[in-house]
Amino acid sequence: MSGVEHLHELLGLPAVDFDSGAEKPSWPAAGDAAWRIRVDPYDDERDRSWEEEFAGFLDTVDPAGVRALIIGQWGESYEEDSSYPIGLLTAAADRFTSLEAVFVGDLEMEEAEISWIQQSDVTALLTAFPGLVELGVRGGSELVFPPLKHASLRSLVVESGGLPAQVVRGVLDSELPALERLELWLGVSAYGGDATADDLAPLLSGTRFPRLHHLGLRNSELANEIAAAVASAPVVARLRTLDLSSGTLGDEGAAALLEGQPLTHLTTLDLHHHFLTPPVERRVTEALEPHGVRVDLSERCEPWDNRGAAGRYTTVAE
């Protein structure tokens, strides 16, 4: 299973690592970068806390101009949860008057496996920043997302090796009238991913999120069940992009998609990292590509140890 990498951009802005100790002639303008703040708890030469690095950032970059902020490693990933950096950021909310996007937990595999990242109640950011349009989260452990109302949020991405059903329900019970993009990495049960296709019913019914046009239900060990549910889901009719990638999708799930409602209105169907056989791959492409649908069937996988369906795996778990 492959890991995840640091973000290269957020809000369309290039990611820039802030380093309070760096000798740099000039930083980009505050609004021209997605600023990543992180520390290395194992660096004895630069022994500093995330709070100290954040304070250095506030002294160096005008927070009133910052549009995008990336919260990277804030300490020992298995000891301190994200309420620590989130609390510091929300306490300074009155200074971040232009903030539009936040990503919490931008750690790659060498820093922490995705399921070791200790999250918290990330909705504190939405409460503190009513103008936020993008929120991204990496890590499902201890993640909390109670239902809330937020008028501005257009993109919500939750990356996990196992997303708790309670979090899924909290997201889907929220009132997010501006939401256009929703991406949930559902993961596997061994790492806390206990959401089922039934938990997705409010979303698939089309009664939630009236502006939604991109839906990603990714990295799931239940990819075939989800595909079968999506095949008849009313929400699909108003999507432009459908992403069921990175999971355990096989011929049975692909067949359900082909036998369900038409998908020819989509611009993109992303099924990369899959377990389809070549004949079914051809059926999918022949059914959709002539209608202008871009179909991503890259990364055909083979089950572990010739175990058939039982040997299928998601891209990210631990």
Q: What backbone phi and psi angles, to 5 degrees, belong to 57?
A: -65, -45
Phi-psi region of 196 (alpha: psi -120 to 50; beta: other; left: phi over 0): beta
CA atoms 259, 160, 156, 149: torsion sign: positive
- At residue 79, the pLDDT reads 78
Against a cut of 0.85, is the pTM above it? yes
Residue closest to 202 by CA, chosen among 147, 270, 132, 278: 147
E-strand spans in 226-285? 241-243, 268-270
How confident is the prediction along the chain (318 residues), in pLDDT tens digits per residue?
456 999 999 999 999 999 988 776 689 999 999 999 999 887 766 778 999 999 999 999 999 999 999 999 998 867 799 999 999 999 999 999 999 999 999 999 889 899 999 999 999 999 999 999 999 999 999 999 999 999 999 999 999 999 999 999 999 999 999 999 999 999 999 999 999 999 999 999 999 999 999 999 999 999 999 999 999 999 999 999 999 999 999 999 999 999 999 999 999 999 999 999 999 999 999 999 999 999 999 999 999 988 889 999 999 988
